[in-house]
Amino acid sequence: MDNSIIKVSHLSKIYKMYNKPIDRLKESLNISHKVYYSIFHALEDVTFDVNRGETIGIIGKNGSGKSTLLKILAGVLSPTSGNVEIKGTVSAILELGAGFNVEYSGMDNIYLNGTILGKTKEQVDARLNDILEFADIGEFIHQPVKTYSSGMFARLAFAVAINVDPDILIVDEALAVGDMKFQARCFRKFEELKEKGTTILFVGHDVSSIRKFCEKALWLHQGKLIAFGDTLSVTAEYMEYMNSEQSTIKEHNEVDINKEDNNEDCEELEPINRWGSCTGSISKVIVLNSKSKQSNVLEYGEKVRISVQFTVPEGADLRHFSTAIAIKNTMGLDLIVFTTKDDNEGFFCDVKADKIEVVFEFTNFLTDGEYVLVAALEDRSSIQPQYYDFIEGAAYLKSTTTDQFFGIVHPPCHVYMRRKSDNL
């Protein structure tokens, strides 16, 4: 049985490149058939199949043809030659603001995009609350979108695209304009769509995200399909090719946490998600670097302190009460978890005060990347923790390294060599 939802056969897209604008006019009036243009192959003889429910990561350098391919699959561009067969509805997030009328309000654009995607007003009405909740732009939803920031644009476009029940979702680097909180929410939504059987095509430059999220990877280079298949093997080839290229990370300003006026100006919690039986118990979460300064940028190998300040929930059994933190990647995977129960289950038994600060101190061995901090108050009276207050997105972190490390966590390792004469 054929399970393919996308079939691409010998697909090519050619553009005519003119040196001067007037050359177009000369060509149109040319009776001697002189050629005034050169040929540019945006795509050249690309063939592949995607099965229903698969998640495909599309990688390649800028100008490799990724966006052109997605525009053809979304029906925005027509191919020069070749065939594309798509079975099902397509929802696409391409260039920022594509499909939006900048003079219309955000609300008007929700209905406009819904119509473009083949939905009736009643169908959009049924999803409106989900769209507004995910977009999270407040009263700006009634303002013209020309007044929106790029982040607001992206949130609204993404919220509409994922809430119209598409068979195929196409995302072309729209997440790059969002902050870490937005990206983490998007990847969680991707996971929900995957579980529903939605086919997802995702363009990204972050190979680690492609590896964790996608079953297959497709590598384009100068319009040609270089490799398509198992994510690990395709991205390994791509990274070997790109090995000489390195990215830089912009430094963030640090804030001296020891100054009282800075404490008063600490950022409010902006969680991706918050829930529990006593939400609001945690009042503040502060990340301190080795200089005892508040910073969301941490260096590899430095001592880090994370302060969780909270009020003990009323009625909490202190024998089984625990405070925990976790560091996740932007797709929600736990990388590091610390809890007071690890070392001492009765950590809080002798506590008399209602307001408490717990500090977790550790060495940062995370490699270059962006991470999400979780803070939680737990009831550990059973094997499965119950939560008084669980905050996903208590802070958003970047880890930087001066050396090139592979993997996500790179702890110290004692390496030694033994002679053959030694006892083995």
Same domain, yes or no: 204 and 314:
no
Q: Are 88 and 168 in contact (CB under 8 A)?
A: yes
Q: What is the mean pLDDT of the chain?
A: 83
| Domain count for the chain | 2
Q: Taking residues 385-393, what's their average pLDDT?
A: 91
The Cα 2–Cα 93 span in angstroms is 27
Q: Are 325 and 350 in contact (CB under 8 A)?
A: no
pTM listed for this prediction: 0.62
Same domain, yes or no: 331 and 381:
yes
pLDDT: is 266 or 38 the higher one?
Answer: 38
The Cα 153–Cα 181 span in angstroms is 15
Same domain, yes or no: 73 and 118:
yes
Residue 413 within any structural domain of the chain: no
Provide the percentage of residues in the chain whose pLDDT is more than 70: 88
Same domain, yes or no: 260 and 230:
no
Residue 318 within any structural domain of the chain: yes
Same domain, yes or no: 230 and 268:
no
- Helix pair 150-162, 180-195: axis angle to 10 deg: 10
Residue 32 within any structural domain of the chain: yes
CA distance readout (Å), 2 to 41, 58, 128, 268, 414:
31, 23, 35, 52, 52
* DSSP string across 30-96: -SS----EEEEEEEEEEEEEEETT-EEEEE--TTSSHHHHHHHHHTSS--SEEEEEE-S-EEEE-ST
Q: Taking residues 133-142, what's their average pLDDT?
A: 88
Q: Is the pLDDT of residue 236 over 70?
A: yes
Same domain, yes or no: 214 and 299:
no
The Cα 302–Cα 296 span in angstroms is 13
Residue 405 within any structural domain of the chain: no
Residue 423 within any structural domain of the chain: no
Same domain, yes or no: 205 and 268:
no
Residue with tokens 């599309």: 58
pLDDT digits (tens, 9 = 90+) for 60-114: 988 899 989 999 998 889 999 999 999 988 888 776 556 678 889 999 989 988 8
The Cα 150–Cα 172 span in angstroms is 15
pLDDT digits (tens, 9 = 90+) for 246-299: 433 233 333 343 443 333 333 467 787 888 899 999 999 999 999 999 998 999
pLDDT: is 332 or 51 the higher one?
Answer: 51
pLDDT at 389: 94
**Cross-strand bridge partners of residue 361:** 305
Same domain, yes or no: 271 and 158:
no
| CATH number of 343's domain | 2.70.50.60
pLDDT at 216: 93
Q: Which ranges in 305-353 belong to alpha helices (H)?
A: none
Provide the percentage of residues in the chain whose pLDDT is more than 90: 40
Residue 185: its H or E element = helix 180-195
pLDDT digits (tens, 9 = 90+) for 156-199: 888 888 888 889 999 886 666 667 777 778 888 888 888 889 99
Q: Which one-letter amino acid corresponds to residue 216?
A: K
Same domain, yes or no: 236 and 266:
no
Residue 417 within any structural domain of the chain: no
pLDDT digits (tens, 9 = 90+) for 322-377: 999 999 887 678 899 999 987 666 788 877 778 899 999 999 999 988 899 999 99
Residues 6+ apart with CB under 8 A from 272: 181, 184, 185, 188, 372, 392, 393
CA distance readout (Å), 401 to 43, 85, 180, 247:
37, 45, 19, 11
pLDDT at 357: 94
Same domain, yes or no: 98 and 230:
yes
Residue 144 within any structural domain of the chain: yes
Q: Is the pLDDT of residue 387 over 60?
A: yes
| CATH number of 107's domain | 3.40.50.300
Residue 324 within any structural domain of the chain: yes
Same domain, yes or no: 77 and 204:
yes
Same domain, yes or no: 43 and 183:
yes
Q: Is the pLDDT of residue 218 over 80?
A: yes
> What domain range includes position 184?
4-241
